[in-house]
Amino acid sequence: MHTGLQRKKLGRLKNLIPKDLLRKNDPNIPDLPEPVIVRHFTKLSRMNYAIDIGPYPLGSCTMKYNPKYMERLANNKNISLLHDILPEENCQGILELLYKLEEYLCEITGMNKFLFNLLQGLTESLQEF
């Protein structure tokens, strides 16, 4: 229900809209509690694959990019201050992290090596072989 003040404001707004564009009848919108509406739209959103649900499968480089995770990582102050031209002795922490990650991934998958290069296109496809 609208209060008196809200009705007054709506009345003034209606004067700004051309008469031929105004509805003749009220829209047939069900009066539902907010939690029911939220559940409905949440259910609809789960029908599509989303980055919040899990990682994208292998495919093009844009599909493997996980923006939420990358943002968290990029905003880490210890990582965001790294730069390509820093001397190797100043990057031992991240190098150790990458080394350990490679060890873990090799152990989990049974592979001998992992690359962390950002490969794209044909380079990426050939790397799979």
Query: DSSP string covering 69-116, please?
Result: HHHHHHT-HHHHT--TTS-GGGGHHHHHHHHHHHHHHHHHH--S----
54, 64, 80, 112 from 57: Cα distances, Å: 9, 7, 27, 22
Read off the pLDDT band of 124 (50, 70, 90): low
Q: What is the mean pLDDT of residues 52-63?
A: 59
Percent of the chain with pLDDT over 90: 19
112 vs 118, higher pLDDT = 112
Q: Report the predicted TM-score, pTM, of the whole model to 2 decimal places.
A: 0.39
Whether residue 81 has pLDDT greater than 90: no
Structure confidence at residue 86 (pLDDT): 86
Three-state DSSP state, 24: coil
Domain boundaries, the chain: 61-127
Percent of the chain with pLDDT over 70: 74
14-32: per-residue pLDDT in tens?
788 888 888 888 888 888 9
